[in-house]
Structure 1
Amino acid sequence: MLRLDTAYQGRLELEAQVGWLINYVRELEREKDALEESCERKDAEYAFQMGKMRASIAHLLPRFDALHEKVSRIPGMLHAVLTQRGSVRDREEQRQSALTDTINSTGGGTADETAH
Structure 2
Amino acid sequence: MDPTRTGPTRTRSTTPPGVGVSGSDRPRLAAHVRLTFSRTRQRKALLHPETVVVLNGSGAAILELCDGRHTVAEIVTELGARYETVPDDEVRQFLARLVARRWVELTDG
Shorter-chain TM-score: which interval? Answer: under 0.3
TM-score after normalising by structure 1: 0.16
Q: With CA pairs under 8 Å and 6+ residues apart, which has the higher RCO, 1 or 2?
A: 2
Larger radius of gyration: 1
Instruction: Compare the two structures and name the one with the higher helix fraction.
Output: 1
TM-score after normalising by structure 2: 0.17
